[in-house]
Amino acid sequence: MALHLRMKDDDPWIIESKIFTLLSDYLQPNSSITPSSAASTIDSLYPANRNEEEAEQPYGFLWEIWYQIYHVSGQIMPSDPAMEKLALLVKTLRGVRSKTALIAVEGYGGEMRLWADLPLIGSVYRELFDYDVELDNRGRGINALAARLYRDGLPWKFFAIEAINSLGVRERRRHQHTTEMVTEDTIDDNPEFRAELDIAADWITQCGEVILQGRTDEVSGAQIWSRPWGFEEPVVYPAMWGEWKKKFQKVSGHDRASDGMRSVADAAIRAMGDFEQLFLDSMTS
């Protein structure tokens, strides 16, 4: 079945239109466009590679590339094979040897490798969820792509932790006569909670093995390390992993959870068990 994608802008910039058309054609089930070919086409659209006298600045082009990729991912169900194709395109893009090897992006300090470092890709993801994306099917799709990019090598453990920790967390006033807020875990069979559950479960099933590779048995003094993308990646402690499993177990056993919610939670629990066994096997081999 053909994948029907829509542009957000009714009057797009020509480069925006070319990017969207490329993505739409590449992601079709019977497309003959390879990831390498699509990645090379994207590289050819980079301003310095187009030989135009008045091309746009690198910042604007990169922002547009990542925005279009996320916009498309928001129209794809996480289980659709097109989601893996989109993730593979980004992974392939990191290996492109461009005529423009290094660039300077204002505000990010120093030079970055044009495609190997994927400049701004994390910033666009963060801005989308800070200002533009609701917890709906679009949010599911964008998170699904981000989870696969982390699985494939981007240093995005912070995003994984944030997505999983957020499951069911709500703020409320401690009591009616105070402005003091407290947080609590809740379970509700409503669209917002179901979206949070689907998103958290997808991050776990896609990235659990990668997350555990950076786990530590230390209980204090968390070590963090800087990455070219400008984010700091935290350590996942055993207690944190255990709390995540409890979140899914709570959903699985809750009387307000629908059968669909229990199925999603149970799949996440099984995946976590499998990853734990792989982790233990790696420690003893």
Least confident segment among 43-57, 178-192, 207-221: 207-221
With bands split at pLDDT 50, 70 and 90, how would you rate the model's confidence at 32?
A: very high
pLDDT at 233: 52
The residue-averaged pLDDT of 2-6 equals: 94
Q: Mean pLDDT score of the chain, rounded to an integer?
A: 86
Domains in the chain: boundaries = 15-154, 155-173+181-284
- Cα separations in angstroms, 70 against 125, 163, 203, 233: 8, 17, 16, 22
Whether residue 204 has pLDDT greater than 90: yes
With bands split at pLDDT 50, 70 and 90, how would you rate the model's confidence at 184?
A: low
The residue-averaged pLDDT of 126-143 equals: 85
Q: Rounded to whole angstroms, how far apart are CA atoms 38 and 34? A: 6
CB atoms near residue 13 (< 10 Å): 12
**Whether the model pTM is above 0.85:** yes
The residue-averaged pLDDT of 164-172 equals: 80
